[in-house]
């Protein structure tokens, strides 16, 4: 465990906690965290995760804009559900991205876990896109992904990061409950 990993983990907890509370400051804090983690993952040869963090940097800016200026009235997004079609498209995009990235990592790099890392990367992009649009289902996908990330990071001896993703799992469960509760009055 390095000081960089400790700082990135602390920022990660803060960013996800702010996301659960729908505080737009989750995005710039998340931006700093993902840039730090891109370097950490490069050092341990989890190249798909490193690339994921760089894409997350762009998505952090996109999410910040969506939460503060997105939507029909450009006054920010409200929590909503995905339709069946959008859910299917997102999962299909995740599967296609998993295959393409996994093949590339397995063929052209010395990645430590090319297929597993690629699948987690591709589906994380789907979850992050859904989160930027405040889709409730992002939290269910994050719960599954975070649990799988815990296993991956334990295998790479990134114990603090594994613990962080365990905490992310708990925060994702809280996010699901909180955002779902916000939708209930609208449905009545």
Condensed to tens digits (0 to 9), the pLDDT of residues 39-95 reads: 998 988 888 778 878 988 999 999 998 888 876 777 778 899 999 999 999 999 999
Does the pLDDT of residue 137 top 90, yes or no?
yes
Residue among 42, 145, 51 at smallest CA distance from 104 = 51
User: To the nearest whole number, what is the mean pLDDT of the chain?
Assistant: 90
pTM for this prediction: 0.85
pLDDT tens for 101-117 read: 999 989 998 888 899 98
Give the model's pLDDT for residue 76: 74
- DSSP-assigned beta bridge partners for residue 135: 80
Q: Which residue has the higher pLDDT, 184 or 139?
A: 139
Mean pLDDT of 117-135: 93
Report the distance separating Cα 132 and Cα 127, nearest Å.
9
Residue 18 has pLDDT above 90, yes or no: yes
């Amino acid at each position: 465990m390095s000081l960089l990993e400790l700082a990135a983990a602390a920022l990660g907890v803060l960013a996800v906690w702010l996301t659960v509370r729908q505080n737009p400051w989750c995005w710039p804090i998340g931006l700093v965290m993902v840039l730090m983690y891109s370097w950490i993952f490069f050092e341990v040869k989890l190249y798909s995760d490193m690339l994921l963090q760089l894409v997350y940097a762009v998505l952090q800016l996109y999410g910040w804009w969506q939460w503060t200026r997105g939507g029909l009235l450009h006054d920010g997004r409200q929590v909503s559900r995905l339709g069946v079609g959008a859910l299917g498209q997102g999962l299909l995009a995740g599967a296609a991205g998993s295959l393409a990235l996994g093949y590339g990592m397995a063929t052209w790099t010395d990645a430590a876990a090319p297929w597993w890392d690629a699948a987690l990367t591709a589906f994380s992009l789907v979850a992050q896109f859904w989160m930027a649009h405040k889709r409730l289902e992002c939290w269910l996908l994050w719960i599954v992904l975070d649990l799988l990330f815990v296993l991956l990071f334990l295998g790479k001896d990134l114990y603090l990061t594994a613990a962080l993703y365990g905490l992310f799992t708990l925060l994702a469960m809280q996010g699901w409950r909180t955002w779902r509760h916000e939708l209930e009055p609208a449905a009545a």
